[in-house]
Amino acid sequence: MGFLVVLVLLGAGFAGGLLFLRSGSAAEQGGAPVTVVVPEGVGTNTVADILAEQGVVESSLGFRLAARFDDRSARIRPGTYQLTPGMDTDQILAVLSAAPPAVPTFTVTIPEGLTVAQTLDRIATAEGSTLTVDLLRGALPQTTRPAWAPPVDQLPAEQPYPGLTPYEGLLFPDTYEFRQDQDPVSVLEELVARTQEVMAGVAVPPELTPYQVLTIASLIEREARVPEEQPTISSVIRNRIANDRLLQVDATVLYANASDADRVLNEDLEIASPWNTYADSGEILPPTPIAGAGQAAIQAAAAPQATSYLYYVVCDPANGRHAFAETNEQHAANVARFRAGETFC
């Protein structure tokens, strides 16, 4: 009789031990789901500690012992999971050994020719974006600028877009996919990295720096509405630089005025700013780009068409095509036709 009692007690203890192992010494059932992050390269023991710390299981040791009898413990995958306190070992391993749910993403397309301010707005207003313009603006100073860009403290103190101007032209226009949980610094770093990637593939002429090429490209991007004219407009800019002449690019006046207008008035030309290429600031090029330039404009800046042109003016307002001229007299005649409302190309 005593022997039977011992067997019953041993059987009950064994059954209880199996229950303990199966449950992983579970925490109290129920409660709100808990976010559990399983890092890359950790083992079952570390996972057990994480589960206990998050309150999913009551005992780290209990989970370890239970998981030891389940081959899914060797297939735990890194990721972010939602687990509920009180889940047993079987349920937990079923979740952790499966692929974690994909982190939601959002896509944003940044067109060529946008300023930093417009670029940040595009990212913030993209469908699914969790970022705000304020968050992105706050992240800019933490974003690494390329080594070939001049230090911020070497730029003029008075800038058209304080806090944004030093990053003008460095946020490459393209289509990007970002995670919704991605921090704003890493988002901006991707745009800058894309700029560096494109610039690394450009043969920078010896008379220019990479930053000057990017600056010229931004002028081309804002001035050329017809893509095939980009190398020709580049030739005008480069010819004027070679002849030590003011560039007189209308788009720089709008940038200097921090204006969203699409045309320049005579009074606008008088603004005293290093970014106004109608004003003699002692430098021909503005101190920074004025917009984000695409790959074609950057390539045109580095390798312009071979011409003797020094001037251009719109000759077809419908599509923005330009007439080019070598002399002031030719240009004056073109300007007169433009002001008369003619289409002459």
Which pLDDT tens digit goes with each residue over 223-271? 999 999 999 999 999 999 999 999 999 999 999 999 888 788 888 898 9
Q: What domains can be seen in the chain, in order of their start residue?
A: 17-96 (3.30.1490.480), 105-200 (no CATH), 210-339 (no CATH)
Q: Helix, strand or coil for residue 146? A: coil
CA distances in angstroms from 220 to 17, 33, 112, listed in the order given: 76, 54, 11
Residues 6 or more apart in contact with residue 263 via CB below 8 angstroms: 250
24 or 329, higher pLDDT: 329
Instruction: Evaluate if residue 42 carries a pLDDT over 70.
Output: yes
- CA torsion through residues 217, 219, 220, 225, sign: positive
Q: How many residues does the chain have?
A: 345
Tell me what pLDDT residue 290 has.
98
**Residue range 219-223: average pLDDT?**
98
The mean-pLDDT minimum among 1-10, 132-141, 282-291 falls in: 1-10
The mean-pLDDT minimum among 6-20, 45-59, 137-151, 296-310 falls in: 6-20
Here the tokens at position 321 are: 């095509």
Q: What is the pLDDT of residues 80-125, one digit of tens each?
A: 899 999 899 999 999 999 877 778 999 999 999 999 999 999 999 9
Return the H-helix or E-strand segment holding 329.
helix 328-339
Torsion over CA of 132, 138, 139 and 143, rounded to 10 degrees?
Answer: 140
Integer Cα distance of 149 and 133 in angstroms:
24
Instruction: Evaluate if residue 20 carries a pLDDT over 90.
Output: no
Instruction: Evaluate if residue 308 carries a pLDDT over 80.
Output: yes
**Residue range 56-63: average pLDDT?**
93
Tell me what pLDDT residue 19 has.
42
Integer Cα distance of 32 and 29 in angstroms:
10
Residues 6 or more apart in contact with residue 336 via CB below 8 angstroms: none
Integer Cα distance of 237 and 248 in angstroms:
9
Instruction: Evaluate if residue 25 carries a pLDDT over 70.
Output: no
Integer Cα distance of 91 and 315 in angstroms:
72
Of 157, 290, 318, 273, residue with least CA distance to 220? 290
> In the chain, pLDDT over 90 holds for what percent of residues?
82
Tell me what pLDDT residue 28 has.
52
Strand partners, 311: 325
Burial 26-53 (b: 16+ CB within 10 A, else e): bbeeeeeebebebeeeeebeebbebbbe
